[in-house]
Amino acid sequence: MAIEARKPAARAALYFVLTLGALAAALPFLYMAASSLKTLGETITRVSGDPFSPEFWPARPQWHNFVQVLVEENFGRFFANSLVISGTTVLGVLVVSSLAAYAFARMSFAGKGFLFSLFLVTLMIPDTVLLVPNFLVVARLGWIDRLPALCVPFMGNAFSIFLLRQFFTQVPQAIVESARIEGASHLQVLSGIVAPISIGPLFTVGFLAFNDSWNSLQWPLVVTQTDRWRPIAVGLAKYISEAGPQTQLRMAGAIIALLPTVLLFVAAQKRITEAISSTGLKG
Return the pLDDT at 278: 57
Contact 123, 188 (CB under 8 A): no
Q: Please tell me whether residue 227 adopts helix, strand or coil conformation.
A: coil
Return the pLDDT at 179: 85
Instruction: State the CB neighbour count (10 A cutoff) for residue 64.
Output: 11
Return the pLDDT at 276: 60
Segments in 107-229 forming alpha helices (H): 112-121, 127-140, 147-151, 158-168, 173-181, 186-189, 199-214, 218-223
Phi and psi at 12, nearest 5°, equal: -65, -40
Domains of the chain plus CATH, in order, are: 2-62 (no CATH), 73-278 (1.10.3720.10)
Residue-level pLDDT, tens digit, the chain, 283 residues: 445 556 777 788 888 888 888 888 888 889 999 999 999 888 888 888 788 888 889 989 999 899 888 887 788 889 999 999 999 999 999 999 999 999 998 888 888 888 888 888 888 888 888 899 999 999 999 999 999 999 999 898 889 999 899 888 888 888 888 888 888 888 888 888 888 888 888 888 999 999 999 999 999 999 998 888 999 999 888 887 776 678 888 899 899 999 898 888 888 777 767 666 655 444 3
Contact 102, 202 (CB under 8 A): no
The letter for the amino acid at 248 is: Q
Instruction: State how far the Cα of 278 lies from the Cα of 272, in Å rounded to an integer.
Output: 10
> What's 64-96 look like in SS3?
HHHHHHHHHCCHHHHHHHHHHHHHHHHHHHHHH
Q: Please tell me whether residue 190 adopts helix, strand or coil conformation.
A: helix
pTM of the model: 0.85
Return the pLDDT at 91: 95
Return the pLDDT at 74: 80
DSSP structural state of residue 30: H
Phi and psi at 14, nearest 5°, equal: -65, -45
Contact 54, 63 (CB under 8 A): no
Return the pLDDT at 112: 86
- Give exposure, 216-255, as e/b (b: 16+ Cβ within 10 Å): beebbebbbeeeebbbbbbbbbbbeeebeebbbbbbbbbb
